[in-house]
């Protein structure tokens, strides 16, 4: 029987049983890749997050009804298992364990003995299936990663999450387990991941086959490093990125934007980057400045450069039927289309004064479309001095979200769309590098597995300006870091419903700004209520004074550090100075991230493993290896109690008071001085960061 079922081929283990071909092969140190599909052969076609590797061979043992492959510290086992009472009596079941200890890491299971099977393929067409992959659930297991969610949970155990890119919900399907493994669902299909108490289930709504990667490691640090090595390391960060970024919705003209930059310089305030948000173009899909509003981009870039300020410009991948490029792109097959109905996937306003239009996207799965799009971006932006791009709406955003009604050059949208941001980012990174502008920076609203290798800053999308959403940003950033995205940021103050004249919003803004200063990237942005709209009374809803689509084409309220009253301005100016003093420390932290993949902003357990009490903590985090940050997360709070990890002594950054590891530190938290603790062993080296602010 074994000769017909199991075989060693190309360094991997293959199993052909019940009409399914299954292959487990080495893919990096202590890691295995698993692929399976009905039929006789694997079919290439989906986007691969894993980097190619040279030949590797596992240690393979084949028996009568079982076979194993061992590679470093991980062993994969395939067993032909009897299923009494099942519709099919036997199936090939996979189990992973530590090769050195025999401890089980993860094993396939069924939710019921009668089915569905552990790997369930439901045919959609001759080469496409709806796939369910089921694993055992383990009591006491903690799980982290999966990109950038907004559910606010640090431990993913018990969480069900969609595998579909959406605004503020970035899908990077890599999960880290407290049991000592990491798993990458290497499949760009739309689906769902469920980490229930009774079963772990991954689903793909449409796919050509199963593909995942699993690694074993002694704790999250080894696991994350292995994942980043397998999917690509980040480049070194340009120094200016670590300074302060000014942004709002939206600067309408060249002179308005330059006026803001000049005012920062007149006030002597640090400013590293200023950002042009959307609608700086003529029409969506033309990818060029509107000359009426931006008459001389070269002169604008030159003046900003003289000030020491970098410029970033928002470019969307959307294409309007009114665009001058629409007909050519349609005829050449360069656009995402629909499977049925009109070829549009999102209604949105444009510069035309006719209200919302209907748009599609260039097809990032088509190399010809990538080249067409980048050629326009190069000629209209890069050749005019702009090398930093805000790649907004790159999920791609769809309303309503029906990916199965989208057709890409590589297949149906349900099979492919999670990888759209990866290929869009790759287009820009390759284009910038080929043009001699490899230091160009990309700010993106979405990402997929491997995006970090393209030098991408992920930001948490259009989140609301309230305390619940603010609290959710901490686990969002921590999960993103564990999924490889060390370059991460959030809209300081939130995006929607912030009124600069509201005292309640001003308090939230200050606390969010404190968090932003101690985030990897510090960027002030938001769709503020227009200045001429009175602030709401307590308990009243926020209003923008008119339909928000109309305001999009004009501008939101003021959003500079001096826009919120004298008291707030004083605090924010002090925080800007603090960020400047923090930059040398951050340079070292970002260099470590580029070298190893260690998150810039990391959960406490990443630096203090084997302390189970830290696994669910989302109220504090480590910024680099030496600073513990505990943001103020409750309205009206002026102090905080912080449970400090064991094994280290700590120093309160603002007072210099010492605290033993494992203790509870209750500290004052006035505006501008969020609770920050320094590892005692590094206190002398880092105390100067906080010296100027102690008084």
In whole angstroms, give the CA distance from residue 119 to residue 207. 13
Angle between helices 367-380 and 420-434 (to 10 degrees): 50
In whole angstroms, give the CA distance from residue 329 to residue 28. 40
Q: What is the DSSP string of 411-467?
A: EEHHHHGGGHHHHHHHHHHHHHHHTT-TT--EEES---TTGGGG-EEEE--S-BSSH
State the catalytic residue, choosing from 77, 395, 425, 626: 395
Q: Could you give the maximum distance between any two Cα atoms of the chain, in Å?
A: 81
- The CA-atom distances, in angstroms, between 388 and each of 391, 426, 519, 625 are 10, 14, 20, 29
State the catalytic residue, choosing from 392, 397, 415, 626: 392
| Closest of 119, 110, 138 to residue 196, by C-alpha | 138
In whole angstroms, give the CA distance from residue 690 to residue 475. 26
SS3 label, residue 684: helix
State the catalytic residue, choosing from 462, 598, 626, 648: 462
The tokens for 571 are 């605090």
In whole angstroms, give the CA distance from residue 295 to residue 145. 44
* Phi, psi of 571, deg, nearest 5: -65, -45
Residue 395 annotated among the catalytic residues of the structure: yes
In whole angstroms, give the CA distance from residue 671 to residue 511. 7
Look up tokens 């919003």; give the residue.
505
| Closest of 597, 337, 564, 552 to residue 450, by C-alpha | 597
Residue 531 annotated among the catalytic residues of the structure: no
In whole angstroms, give the CA distance from residue 573 to residue 569. 6
In whole angstroms, give the CA distance from residue 602 to residue 475. 10
The tokens for 43 are 């079919």
Residue 392 annotated among the catalytic residues of the structure: yes
- Give the residue numbers marked as catalytic: 392, 395, 462
């Amino acid at each position: 029987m074994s000769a017909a079922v199991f075989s060693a081929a190309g360094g991997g283990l293959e199993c052909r049983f019940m009409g399914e071909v299954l292959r487990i092969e080495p893919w990096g140190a202590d890691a295995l890749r698993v692929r399976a599909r009905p039929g006789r052969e694997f079919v290439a076609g989906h986007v691969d997050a894993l980097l190619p590797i040279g030949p590797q061979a596992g240690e393979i043992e084949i028996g009568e009804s079982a076979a194993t492959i061992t590679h470093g510290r991980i062993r994969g086992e395939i067993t032909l298992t009897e299923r009494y009472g099942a519709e099919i009596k036997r199936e090939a079941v996979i189990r992973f364990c530590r090769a050195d200890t025999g401890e089980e890491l993860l094993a396939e299971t069924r939710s019921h003995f009668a089915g569905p099977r552990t790997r369930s393929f439901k045919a959609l067409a001759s080469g496409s299936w709806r796939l369910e992959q089921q694993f055992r659930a383990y009591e006491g297991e903690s799980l982290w990663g999966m990109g950038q969610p907004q559910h606010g949970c640090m431990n993913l155990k018990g969480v069900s999450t969609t595998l579909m890119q959406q605004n503020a919900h970035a899908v990077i399907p890599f999960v880290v387990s407290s049991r000592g493994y990491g798993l990458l669902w290497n499949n760009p299909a739309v689906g769902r991941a469920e980490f229930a108490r009774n079963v772990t289930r991954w689903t793909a709504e449409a796919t050509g086959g199963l593909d995942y990667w699993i690694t074993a490691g002694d704790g999250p640090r080894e696991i994350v490093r292995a994942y980043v090595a397998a999917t690509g390391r980040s480049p070194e960060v340009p120094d200016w990125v670590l300074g302060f970024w000014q942004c709002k919705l939206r600067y309408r003209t060249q002179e308005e934007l330059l006026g803001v930059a000049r005012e920062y310089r007149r006030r002597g305030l640090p400013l590293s980057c200023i950002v042009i948000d959307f609608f700086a173009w003529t029409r969506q899909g033309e990818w060029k400045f509107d000359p009426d509003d931006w008459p001389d981009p070269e002169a604008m870039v030159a003046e900003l450069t003289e000030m020491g300020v970098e410029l970033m410009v928002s470019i969307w991948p959307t294409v309007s039927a009114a665009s001058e490029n629409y007909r050519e792109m349609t005829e050449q097959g360069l656009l995402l289309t629909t499977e049925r109905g009109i070829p549009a996937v999102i209604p949105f306003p444009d510069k035309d004064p006719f209200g919302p239009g209907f748009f599609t996207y260039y097809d990032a799965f088509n190399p010809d479309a990538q080249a067409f799009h980048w050629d326009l971006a190069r000629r209209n932006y890069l050749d005019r001095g702009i090398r930093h791009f805000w790649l907004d709406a790159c999920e791609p955003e769809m309303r309503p979200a029906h990916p199965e009604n989208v057709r890409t050059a590589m297949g149906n949208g349900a099979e492919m769309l999670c990888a759209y941001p990866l290929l869009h980012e790759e287009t820009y990174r390759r284009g910038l590098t080929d043009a001699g502008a490899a230091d160009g920076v990309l700010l993106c609203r979405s990402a997929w597995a491997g995006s970090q290798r393209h030098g991408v800053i992920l930001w948490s999308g259009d989140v609301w300006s309230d305390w619940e959403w603010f609290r959710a940003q901490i686990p969002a950033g921590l999960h993103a870091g564990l999924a490889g995205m060390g370059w991460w940021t959030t809209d300081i103050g939130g995006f929607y419903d912030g009124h600069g004249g509201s005292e309640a919003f001003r308090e939230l803004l200050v606390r969010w700004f404190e968090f932003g200063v101690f985030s990897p990237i510090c960027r002030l942005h938001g769709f503020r209520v227009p200045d001429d709209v009175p602030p709401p009374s307590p308990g009243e809803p926020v209003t923008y004074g008119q339909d928000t689509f109309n305001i999009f084409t004009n501008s939101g309220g003021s959003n500079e550090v001096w826009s919120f009253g004298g008291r707030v301005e004083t605090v924010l100016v002090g925080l800007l100075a603090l960020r400047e003093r923090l930059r040398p420390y951050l340079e070292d932290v970002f260099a470590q991230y580029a070298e190893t993949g260690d998150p810039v902003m990391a959960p406490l357990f990443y630096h203090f493993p084997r302390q189970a009490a830290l696994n669910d903590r989302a109220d504090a985090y480590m910024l680099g290896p030496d600073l513990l940050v505990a943001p103020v997360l409750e309205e009206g709070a002026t102090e905080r109690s912080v449970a400090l990890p064991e094994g280290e002594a700590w120093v309160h950054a603002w007072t210099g008071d010492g605290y033993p590891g494992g203790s509870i530190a209750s500290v004052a938290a006035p505006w501008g001085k969020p609770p920050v603790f320094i590892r005692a062993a590094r206190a002398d080296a880092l105390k100067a960061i906080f010296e100027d602010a102690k008084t």
